[in-house]
């Protein structure tokens, strides 16, 4: 397994596949492809944060409940309009929350602290310079790097972009991932099922897995396990995709043609032919003129687990989600779990809490030949090194989480 990973890393270095501009309404959950430098101050001008009177602070010094100071009302400032008054000594203008501070003013007195009589405003509270004013640039200052490259855009970052007047975000392109299934027994869901046939699971489940890690799946459907058809399908895949996934057709059976075809399609060709792991032994990896190809086993559990182990990290990097760490939690093994002799073994587990509140990992049997329900029941997997015979009951283990974490999965 370690050798396979090294070989893949030596032959293909996953990089973002490009950048694109998307309007803010489509930017949610995308990955920023550049640092965003503020082209303006936010707010762009000194704003009143209350309804009241714009003043020179020094004019209010000494004012209190019993000794109001009288100022001359010389106008009114409106929200969304340039002020048409200038505040001289002893003067004031009515203003409202959000309105720009008029020239000459440096503070705002709240309505509640004033009494207004015709053209005179009695101020009952002293204010300091800047009181009830949000200064220009106090939220974001012009020239500031306000959002960093590789950040994932949530509602708040979209808000920051909008505040800057930005209409489009420069984000990483989603890598295109071509997916096909192979095997004389698989047919498309929806068709009627003759004896000996099963519905294709892998292309559909893998499409979901590709979306989850930031890729754009291109489902090429079922390709017959026949030389010319497979060759045509693979060529088509290379023409549209940044990464190719096939599943099925790489068992030890007599119809194992994919690796042979791959070797004729480009350089270096197949770089990993089988891995000493369980499940997933027949996994084949190729690089064809710069495009990685992962040929996964036909059985769904193996295919999806190998996807998580080998393919997901590559797609994540190609999607610009470089900072993403593997998601793991610590748990206590519920029972002894055995490794397959001489192979890195991945045991699917379900997480629960014991009476003492400790997190416990209980094995979800893989079932014969990879039942699809195994993975829908499992929360994650445990890795047992090929040098180990087993993990003992009650041993502390690291569980690699298999599913995206949704809000409902957390909470303490």
**Residue 98, phi-psi category: left (phi > 0), alpha (psi -120 to 50), beta (remainder):** left
Residue 152 in the binding site for a second copy (CB under 8 A): yes
User: How far does CA 125 lie from the centroid of its chain?
Assistant: 50
Find the shortest distance in angstroms from Cβ 381 to a second copy.
13
Please select the residue that binds a second copy; options are 13, 25, 239, 355, rule is CB under 8 A. Answer: 25
User: Per-residue contact track with a second copy, 343 to 372, x per CB under 8 A?
Assistant: ------------------------xxx-xx
Give bridge partners of residue 172 from the DSSP assignment.
Answer: 19
For 303, the token pair is: 């295919």
Please select the residue that binds a second copy; options are 8, 27, 223, 319, rule is CB under 8 A. Answer: 27
Find the shortest distance in angstroms from Cβ 47 to a second copy.
7
Q: How far apart are CA 53 and CA 73, in angstroms?
A: 9
Contact set for a second copy, span 380-409 (CB under 8 A): 401-408
On whether the CB atoms of residues 302 and 296 are closer than 8 A, the answer is yes
> Which long-range contacts link 272-275 to residues 24+ away (Cβ below 8 Å)?
272/4, 272/7, 272/8, 275/1, 275/4, 275/344
Residue with Cβ nearer a second copy (12 or 307) = 307
Find the shortest distance in angstroms from Cβ 10 to a second copy.
26
Contact set for a second copy, span 36-65 (CB under 8 A): 40, 42-45, 47, 49, 51
Residue 202 in the binding site for a second copy (CB under 8 A): yes
Contact set for a second copy, span 155-184 (CB under 8 A): 155-167, 183-184
Please select the residue that binds a second copy; options are 116, 330, 353, 358, rule is CB under 8 A. Answer: 330
Find the shortest distance in angstroms from Cβ 395 to a second copy.
16
Residue 138 in the binding site for a second copy (CB under 8 A): yes
Please select the residue that binds a second copy; options are 24, 70, 265, 332, rule is CB under 8 A. Answer: 24
For 92, the token pair is: 């004031």
Radius of gyration from C-alpha coordinates of the chain = 32
Contact set for a second copy, span 245-274 (CB under 8 A): 251-254
Residue 76 in the binding site for a second copy (CB under 8 A): no
158 by DSSP, 3-state: which? Answer: helix
Find the shortest distance in angstroms from Cβ 350 to a second copy.
13
Provide the strand spans (E) within 200-274: 216-223, 243-247, 268-273
Please select the residue that binds a second copy; options are 2, 20, 64, 185, rule is CB under 8 A. Answer: 185
Residue with Cβ nearer a second copy (43 or 104) = 43
Residue with Cβ nearer a second copy (288 or 316) = 316
Residue 211 in the binding site for a second copy (CB under 8 A): yes
Please select the residue that binds a second copy; options are 17, 96, 276, 332, rule is CB under 8 A. Answer: 96
Residue 28 in the binding site for a second copy (CB under 8 A): yes
Q: How far apart are CA 149 and CA 159, in angstroms?
A: 16
Residue with Cβ nearer a second copy (203 or 288) = 203
234 by DSSP, 3-state: which? Answer: helix
What is the pairing mode between strands 243-247 and 216-223? unpaired
Find the shortest distance in angstroms from Cβ 232 to a second copy.
20
Burial 335-350, CB ≥16 within 10 A → b, else e: eebebeeebbbbbbbe
> Which long-range contacts link 60-63 to residues 24+ away (Cβ below 8 Å)?
60/107, 60/109, 60/123, 60/125, 60/126, 60/127, 61/126, 62/126, 63/123, 63/124, 63/125, 63/126
Handedness of CA 149, 151, 156, 159 (dihedral sign): positive
Residue with Cβ nearer a second copy (198 or 393) = 198
Residue 197 in the binding site for a second copy (CB under 8 A): yes
For 288, the token pair is: 């064809």
Contact set for a second copy, span 307-326 (CB under 8 A): 321, 323-326
Residue 149 in the binding site for a second copy (CB under 8 A): no
């Amino acid at each position: 397994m370690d050798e396979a990973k090294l070989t893949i890393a030596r032959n293909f270095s996953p990089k973002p596949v490009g950048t694109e501009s998307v309007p803010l309404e489509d930017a949610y959950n995308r990955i920023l492809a550049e640092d965003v430098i503020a082209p303006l101050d936010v707010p762009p001008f000194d704003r009143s944060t209350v309804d009241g009177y714009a003043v020179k602070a020094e004019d209010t010094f000494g004012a209190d409940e019993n000794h109001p100071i009288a100022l001359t009302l010389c106008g009114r400032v409106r929200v969304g309009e340039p002020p048409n008054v200038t505040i001289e000594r002893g003067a004031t203008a009515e203003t409202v929350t959000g309105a720009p501070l008029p020239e000459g003013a440096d503070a705002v007195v709240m309505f509640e602290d004033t009494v207004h009589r015709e053209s005179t405003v009695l101020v009952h509270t002293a204010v300091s310079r800047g009181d009830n004013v949000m200064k220009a640039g106090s939220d974001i200052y012009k020239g500031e790097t306000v959002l960093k490259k590789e950040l994932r855009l949530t509602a708040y970052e979209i808000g920051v972009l909008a505040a800057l007047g930005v209409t489009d975000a420069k984000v990483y392109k989603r890598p295109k991932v071509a997916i096909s299934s192979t095997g004389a027994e698989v047919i498309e869901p929806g068709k009627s099922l003759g004896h000996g046939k099963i519905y294709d699971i892998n292309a559909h489940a893998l499409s979901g897995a590709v979306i989850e890690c930031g890729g754009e799946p291109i489902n090429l459907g079922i390709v017959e396990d026949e030389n010319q058809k497979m060759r045509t399908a693979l060529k088509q895949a290379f023409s549209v995709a940044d990464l190719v996934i096939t599943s099925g057709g790489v068992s030890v059976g007599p119809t194992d043609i994919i690796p042979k075809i791959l070797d004729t399609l480009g350089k270096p060709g197949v770089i990993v032919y089988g891995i000493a792991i369980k499940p997933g032994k027949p996994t084949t990896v190729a690089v064809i003129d710069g495009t990685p190809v992962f040929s996964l086993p036909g059985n769904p559990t193996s295919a999806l687990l190998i996807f998580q182990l080998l393919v997901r990290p590559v797609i994540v990097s190609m999607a610009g989600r470089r900072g993403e760490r593997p998601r793991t939690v610590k748990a206590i093994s519920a029972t002894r779990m055995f490794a397959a002799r001489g192979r890195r073994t991945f045991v699917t587990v379900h997480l629960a809490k014991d009476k003492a509140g400790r997190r416990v990992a209980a094995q979800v049997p893989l079932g014969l030949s990879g039942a699809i329900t195994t993975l829908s029941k499992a929360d994650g997997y445990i890795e047992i090194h090929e040098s180990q015979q087993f993990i003992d009951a009650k041993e502390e283990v690291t569980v690699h989480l298999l599913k995206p974490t949704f809000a409902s999965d957390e909470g303490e």
